[in-house]
Amino acid sequence: MLKVDLGRVDREGSVLVETEVPADDALWHDSGIDWAGPVDVRLRVSLAGTGEVVARGSLKGTLAQECRRCLRPLQEKVEEEVTLVFSADVTDEDVGDGDAYPFDPSKRDLDLGEAVRGEVILATNPYVVCDPECRGLCPRCGANLNEGACGCTAEEVDPRWEALRAQKDR
C-alpha cells in the first residue's frame, strides 16, 4: 500500500514506506506504462514543518516496452531518485503547474499513489529503440530489415521514375 499514516509520521518524525507495487496494479491502468515485474517503492515520509509533507526515496522497476521501429520486446530498467512534496495549498487543478502534489491535512492517511504514478510517467521514455541503427520493418511486407533485405526493397521503383516512363511511352 502506498498510504502513510500522517499521525505516525508526526509522532515518529518520519516513516519509511517500503512496498512492491505489482505490475498489474490499478495504479498503472491507463498510464501507458507496462511493467515486466513489480515496482519497488522506497520512500521516507516526513513533515517539512511548513504544512508540507515530503517523501524522499527511490522507485525501481523494469519496463516491458518494444522498439518503436522493429517492435522487438525490450526491457528497460527504471531507477529514479525522487523527492515528492505534498502541500495543503495545492489543489487538484494545480497539479502539473508546480512540483508539489495536493494533500488534505484533515485526512489521517496520505496516499502517495498518484504522485508515484506521476513521477514514473515523467521518468519514462515511451519512444525507445533497440539500437540507434535499427532498420525497422519493411513498410510493404513487414519483414524485419535487421535480419536482411526482404526482396521488395530491391524491386522498389521510385514513383518519380514511374511517372517519367509513363510519359515516354506515350
Query: Applying CB under 5 A, which residues contact Zn ion?
Result: 67, 69-70, 72, 130, 134, 138, 140-141, 143, 150, 152
Residue 44 corresponds to which amino acid? R
Q: What Cα–Cα distance (Å) separates residue 29 from each residue in 22, 59, 93? A: 12, 18, 21
CB of 33 to Zn ion, least distance (A): 20
When the beta carbons of 108 and 140 are compared against Zn ion, the nearer one is 140
When the beta carbons of 95 and 150 are compared against Zn ion, the nearer one is 150
Rounded CA-CA distance 121/118 in Å is 5
CB of 73 to Zn ion, least distance (A): 10
Rounded CA-CA distance 102/98 in Å is 11
CB of 161 to Zn ion, least distance (A): 19
When the beta carbons of 58 and 75 are compared against Zn ion, the nearer one is 75
Q: Is residue 89 within 8 Å of residue 97, measured between CB atoms?
A: no
When the beta carbons of 78 and 143 are compared against Zn ion, the nearer one is 143
Rounded CA-CA distance 77/161 in Å is 47
CB of 124 to Zn ion, least distance (A): 18
